[in-house]
Amino acid sequence: MKLLAATLFRGALALSAPSTAAAFLSPASQSLVKFPSATSDLRKSISCHAKRGEGYGPPLNNISETVGNTPMVKISDRICPKGRTIYAKCEFFNPLSSVKDRLALSIIEAAENDGSLKPGQTVVEATSGNTGIGSGCYDVCSAWLSCVITMAEPFSIERRKLMRMLGAKVIVTPKAGKGTGMVEKAKELAEKHGWFLCHQFETDANWKIHYETTGPEICNDLKDMNFDYWVTGYGTGGTFHGAGKYIKEHSPDTKIILAEPGAANLIGSGLSTDRNPDGSPACSHPAFNPHPIQGWTPDFIPLVLEKGLGQSIHDELVDIPDGAAVQMSQALARNEGILTGISGGATMWAAVETAKKAPEGSVLVAMLPDTGERYLSTPLFASIEADMNEDELEIARSTPSFILEPVS
């Protein structure tokens, strides 16, 4: 926690002292740089809905009650184009650190209400990780005793570990099967064992939770200002479909920007996905190619997304070029103190590019789906070393005690 606090403070400090915050050491004197007014400026800039120390409110019955009501944070002019305003909708403030907490809880609650999920029944689902992490948690909060997740081999190791930490069993499917392979495996397991299949890519419970929560949260938080653009990517398509539908109904002048990887230009191809009778994909989409944005754009167009596209919700489609998502995620961490994943970087890149073309004074909202800690074994952290680099060793050697020299 101390490390996280220090990182956040450094990000905020950079905003209050832009000319010097990039360096911790003065090149000439090798002494610590001082910021005489930075802490006071930072303190003045802090604005919370409730004053720190007042408390959250009455104790909650279980962790699922903390889902939603995530904050929006203004992006500084280090990233945001001049004369425009970008707010990041920080979905990593959900209890399991991703937007999929909303979806997982919605599916479980809907299945409880209609009786399709019986007490003690096993829940099974195919996921890149975040839905499974949420499902593992909310099964525990509910009356259901076990959760089985199918996940394709390329997704990050830490996602598997988090799901297992939450009590789920994780069945890893071969890389060659891509997303359709893990979906087919979940379907087989449900049919074989009589388990409850979540159908996150097909169920209306997916988009409805975003229509009921995500969309209203954004519109309510921005009710006193113009709201010109909303930018999102898609995984299942639930956020786009549900929140986008609500925004179009309640803020019709807002333009909705949908983004997808340039390497996997499924929507842009104009080609549809062949489907089984239950709406699940019958085969891999011909326009799909592997890409690094985990959680985004499986190798098929989900039915939830297709239904949203059929309502003409989005105004523009943006392709994310290779490398842009990782670079923007790293920039958000280093300049804003915002630790989000590759999908968050991709969305913010699309928001920044949209802002560059937008009229001066425009206000944009970008969805940040999850936390960067879920990507430690991915390209996002490939350039981040575990051992001290030369600059760090130089600092360590500047005083005589406790120097951990590298082993040759």
Structural domain contains residue 358: yes
Would you say residue 120 has pLDDT above 80?
Answer: yes
Would you say residue 103 has pLDDT above 80?
Answer: yes
Report pLDDT for 47: 55
Structural domain contains residue 18: no
> Per DSSP, what are the bridge partners of residue 366?
88, 231
Structural domain contains residue 151: yes
Statement to judge: residues 330 and 359 lie in one domain: yes
Structural domain contains residue 334: yes
Q: Convert the pLDDT of each residue in 141-158 to its tens digit.
A: 445 568 999 998 888 888
Looking up tokens 């945001």 gives 80
Listed residues 197, 220, 246: the one ending a domain: 197
Listed residues 197, 220, 248: the one ending a domain: 197
Would you say residue 106 has pLDDT above 60?
Answer: yes
Domain CATH for 129? 3.40.50.1100
Report pLDDT for 130: 56
Q: Convert the pLDDT of each residue in 179-220 to its tens digit.
A: 889 999 999 999 999 999 999 999 999 999 999 999 999 999
Statement to judge: residues 225 and 317 lie in one domain: yes
Task: Report the catalytic residues.
Answer: 100, 343
Would you say residue 22 has pLDDT above 60?
Answer: no
- Average pLDDT on 7-24 reads 33
Report pLDDT for 146: 85
Statement to judge: residues 188 and 330 lie in one domain: no
Listed residues 144, 166, 197: the one ending a domain: 197
**Parent domain of 112:** 100-197
Report pLDDT for 137: 47
Report pLDDT for 159: 86
Q: How confident is the model at residue 38 (pLDDT cuts 50, 70, 90)?
A: very low
Statement to judge: residues 216 and 181 lie in one domain: no
Mean pLDDT, the chain, whole residue set: 86
Looking up tokens 């996602």 gives 159
Q: How confident is the model at residue 15 (pLDDT cuts 50, 70, 90)?
A: very low
Statement to judge: residues 192 and 259 lie in one domain: no
Report pLDDT for 48: 58
Would you say residue 400 has pLDDT above 60?
Answer: yes
Would you say residue 244 has pLDDT above 80?
Answer: yes
Statement to judge: residues 322 and 214 lie in one domain: yes
Structural domain contains residue 17: no
Query: How many angstroms separate the CA atoms of 98 and 304, rounded?
Result: 19
Q: What percent of the chain has pLDDT over 70?
A: 84
* Burial class (CB within 10 angstroms; exposed 0-12, middle 13-18, buried 19+) of 192: exposed
Q: Convert the pLDDT of each residue in 122-181 to its tens digit.
A: 999 998 755 545 554 445 444 556 899 999 888 888 889 988 998 889 999 999 999 889
Statement to judge: residues 225 and 295 lie in one domain: yes
Structural domain contains residue 156: yes
Other CB atoms within a 10 A radius of the CB of residue 15 amount to 19
pTM score of the predicted model: 0.84
- The beta strands (E) that lie in 174-331 are given as 196-197, 229-232, 255-261, 316-320
Would you say residue 45 has pLDDT above 50?
Answer: no
Statement to judge: residues 181 and 134 lie in one domain: yes
Domain count across the chain: 2
Structural domain contains residue 150: yes
Statement to judge: residues 328 and 233 lie in one domain: yes
Statement to judge: residues 313 and 208 lie in one domain: yes
Q: Convert the pLDDT of each residue in 327-363 to its tens digit.
A: 999 999 999 999 999 999 999 999 999 999 999 999 9
Structural domain contains residue 58: no
Other CB atoms within a 10 A radius of the CB of residue 276 amount to 13
- Average pLDDT on 221-244 reads 96
Q: For residue 90, what is the enclosing H or E element? A: strand 85-90
Report pLDDT for 193: 96
Would you say residue 52 has pLDDT above 60?
Answer: yes
Statement to judge: residues 322 and 350 lie in one domain: yes
Statement to judge: residues 212 and 301 lie in one domain: yes
